[in-house]
A and B are shown apart, each in its own frame.
Chain A
Amino acid sequence: MSYDLFLGCVIPARLPFLEASSRKIFEKLGIKLNDVDGFSCCPDPTGIELIDHKTWLALGARNLSLSNNNGGIISFCSGCVETLKGVNYYINKDPEVKNDVNKILKSVGKKYEGKTEVKHFAQVLYENLDKVRENVEHPLIGFKVAVHYGCHYLRPSEIINWDDPFEPTTIDEIVRAIGADSIDYELKMECCGNPLDKSDKEISLQMIDNKFKSIQKSGANCVSLVCPACYQQFDFNQRELSKGKENGYNFPVFYLSELVALAFGFKPEELGLNFHRVRPKELLEGF
């Protein structure tokens, strides 16, 4: 089994440690990820799409046209998955859109038929859950995980077409398969607020603060998520929210791939867990 790997911008150029754990777990599962030269920004469904839909469609279709793999594209980023699935959706829904996009692509000698399948890495993990279980060497006993699905992993469901948009289960099931507990919390399905960083930092911080308050009440001792925008909001802004406070937050934020890698027996050092702002020291004793 193999996929073409679409890295996007944020993970490889800002959070490469998330890429490290993700590559390692798929290698261990025997799922080949091909590196493809020439991808651009997906482009950002919370940025470029909002300012110029035509540009978003054209660049997205160009990216999709670069994959010749039968398995299609895999991405470690929920934003990239939303964009690439969204471009497929609009192109296949309306022949006029497809025609317009291909007129633009013709200027660079490319063409896109709308056939490249796109999957989120968590979807591929879920589809190989038995293999994931077989590879667990170090079950994550004592990890009480507050799972954050993030909006773009799920919605709009007509485009993403994967887990339930409001009552999802896939990531909880993966977390349980590697020996950890998934802890329910009141604001589990709320948006982390990251996209509002561009327009209103105060509201953005209020949204993530509310999530942490809810996680604090739940008894969870760490967070897990599957989107680099959510990761930055939870890890980077947690310190900002806790500055100067006596009872600041202290929740290590793990990418789902990092938890799976730890359970597969990889060492914290080789995963680059030291690059996290909130250091997961206590939970990693014995790893």
Chain B
Amino acid sequence: MSVINFEFRNEVLKHNASLSYCYQCSTCSGGCPVALITQGRYNPRKIIEEAILGLQDKLIEKQDPNPWLCSTCQTCVELCPQKVEITEIFILIKNKCFNTGNVPEAFISQGRAVLENGVALPYSKAIITRREKLGLPSIKTAPVDEIKKILKETKFENKIPKEGA
């Protein structure tokens, strides 16, 4: 059984008050390509409903439905007749999932790459050679110590587990 978490509910509402405009018409799910393919196993309306009710355990811990199945196509937010800012609410929910470790590994490895290199994909030797052959200039990306300083300020550094940990 799910338990209402009032603190969680208030936090989401405070973050984005448009949540309370939702009247559960399901236009978001009707337009969602992933809801269609998964025959409703992924269902954005239900995620919004659980946020309105404050069902933190279902949404963040059990992930039912799984918010990581959102393809970020932004169709739902365009279609919503009530102008619920679904993107912003989903981002808050996914950020919370990440903070509690309920996140697919690929997101963590991307975060680690940015933390260690300043970019998600460092330039390999093979790519540098290929760039030269294509007549492309060499690129100086961000100084890593500067990026690390910023990620320390945002406390992101602490949230990325050490590799293999």
Contacts and interface: CB of A to CB of B under 8 A. Distances in A.
Interface of A: 7, 9-10, 12-14, 16-17, 19-20, 23, 35, 37-41, 43-55, 58-59, 62, 103-105, 107-108, 151-152, 154-157, 165-166, 190-191, 193, 195-200, 203, 206-207, 210, 270, 272, 275
B95 to A, nearest CB: 6
Contacts of A39: 141-142
Interface of B: 33-34, 37-38, 66, 68-69, 71-75, 77-78, 87, 91-92, 94-95, 98, 103-104, 106-108, 110-111, 114, 118-124, 127, 130-131, 134-137, 139-143, 146-147, 149-154, 156, 159
Nearest to B66: A199
Contacts of B37: 203, 206-207, 210
A54 B15 CA distance: 13
Nearest to B91: A53
Interface of B is mostly: helix
B111 A54 contact: no
A62 B87 CA distance: 23
A193 B73 CA distance: 9
A45 B134 CA distance: 28
16 contacts: A9-B121, A16-B127, A40-B141, A40-B142, A48-B110, A51-B95, A53-B91, A55-B151, A104-B150, A107-B149, A107-B150, A108-B146, A155-B74, A166-B78, A190-B33, A207-B37
Contacts of B91: 49-50, 53
A20 B137 CA distance: 10
A198 B140 contact: no
Contacts of A272: 134
Chain A binding surface, main DSSP class:
helix
A254 to B, nearest CB: 16
